[in-house]
Amino acid sequence: MVRRIIVVGANASGVEAASAARKKDRTAEITLINQETNSGYSRCGLPFVIGGHIADFKNLIVYPPAYFQMLKLTLKTETKVTAVNTKEKTVTAVDKAGVAETLQYDSLVLATGADAFMPPIKGREKQGILSLRSIEDGEKIRQAVQSGAKSAVIMGAGLIGLEVGVALIEKGLKVTIVEMLPQILPAMLDADMAKLVQEHLQEKGMTILTGKGVEEFLGEDKVTAIMAGGEKIEADLFISAFGVRANTKLAVDAGIPLGETRAIKTNGRMETDVKDVYAVGDCAEGPNLITHKPMCPQLGTIAVRMGKVAGANAAGDYAQFTGILASAVTRLFEIEAGVTGLTEASAAKNRVEVVVGAISSKTKADYYPTAKPIKVKLVVEKESQRIVGAQVVGGEEVTQRINALSFAIQKQMTVRDLAKADTAYAPPLNETWDPMVLAAEMVLMRLR
């Protein structure tokens, strides 16, 4: 009998799940149901279209309709799944014309993603508060810029908030970032590393207000200003970047349990607690590779890895999701920042006793004309001396160092091993002593 696989959601994790299922089962009926008009596009690229680095939002579509046709995947767009019945193994979906249909499944993959989060702030029902989660959201922001917006307030100093802020400055707007916590990039960097990024952004003209929560949206029907930390800030454009929350409504309504993080609980095969139902991407939990506790970091790289595992299993294969280090990088003007594993702050929160070491160096030989500054920080578990986290901030060459340190953590390398690493050198490419090795030596000095 032909296996029926339904995937709810058709972006990073959903498309990856459907593709992996097709590779395992050539005859299965695989249906993707997507609420959005566009499917298979990169959300991560949205700020770079706004900034003008990428010509159009359509360029972000990684999987065009031809891809789904080639793999014989049935794609239903602008269609909302309203109910899942796990006893009958059915999904109820309503299309844009309001026509409902009930589909039978053998395996179901929930890739429902996450929604932009808005805290309960006074006046939040007013018009004119934009967020950036979809192509449609991006088009609204770009339209506001083209219509003559001269200033913007961005609420939240996470990755998206800062990337949008950079994009708007590149488009000539005056940008103010408002962050409730005492530092920018609070989920990504420790305060000492975040300070380097903040100083660079301020040099580029970005106004950054940390330690100030948004108290109220001001204006009649449309927002014209906010109150933050007792200060009134006026602007033409207001962007909510408070973060996202896992979209779990469908799972909750169907009686599928959530986990500690309030995302959908899964096991190593990305199965939920309900047989033949899987969850992947921004709506699903996975284990942290170091603490083994569940986490939901909502990164595209993790979404596709989860999708690949769930898709294979949904099609009858056996695959395991190995876990999460939440490695991430960004570029903001001329500075790059990256993280892998635990920060010093998250280690403390998880009661992991660590020793840290940081070094400021150059990306090339110090005398080479285009050498740029770089700082590497290592987080090492005190007892085992294993590397459990790293952060890198610099003018270039951040991604490959984060990737190398991610491999080191996954292979349970000790800081002593890293200090003996055989790294490459040439004046236009790297220092004689790689900054990662120097940071390892700083940790060893502290361990002595």
Contact (Cβ atoms closer than 8 angstroms) between residue 56 and residue 142: no
Q: Which amino acid is at 300?
A: G
Going from the C-alpha of 77 to that of each of 15, 37, 39, 91, 214, the distances in angstroms are 13, 6, 8, 15, 36
Which pLDDT belongs to residue 379? 98
Which pLDDT belongs to residue 104? 98
Q: What CATH architecture applies to the domain 4-35+78-115+245-314?
A: 3-Layer(bba) Sandwich (3.50)
Which pLDDT belongs to residue 87? 97
CA proximity to 224, closest of 112, 359, 333, 127? 127
Which pLDDT belongs to residue 177? 98
The span from the CA of 322 to the CA of 309, in Å, is: 10
Low-confidence ranges of the chain (pLDDT < 70): none
Domains 4-35+78-115+245-314 and 334-447 fall in the same CATH topology: yes
Q: How many CB atoms lie within 10 A of CB 374?
A: 25
Q: Where are the domains of the chain?
A: 4-35+78-115+245-314, 129-242, 334-447
3-state DSSP call for residue 286?
strand
The phi, psi pair for 67, rounded to 5°, reads -65, -45
Which pLDDT belongs to residue 64? 95
Contact (Cβ atoms closer than 8 angstroms) between residue 109 and residue 17: yes
Which pLDDT belongs to residue 47? 98
Q: What is the pTM of this model?
A: 0.95
Tokens 């707007």: give the residue.
173
Which DSSP category does 135 fall into? H
CA dihedral 298, 302, 304, 307 (to 10 degrees): -90
Catalytic site residues?
Answer: 44
The span from the CA of 292 to the CA of 222, in Å, is: 46
CA proximity to 374, closest of 357, 358, 393, 356? 393
Top-level class of domain 334-447: alpha beta
Contacts of 142 by beta carbon, 8 Å cutoff, 6+ apart? 49, 50
User: Residues 104, 110, 116, CA angle at the centre, nearest 5°?
Assistant: 135
User: Residues 12, 14, 19, CA angle at the centre, nearest 5°?
Assistant: 95
CATH number for region 129-242:
3.50.50.60
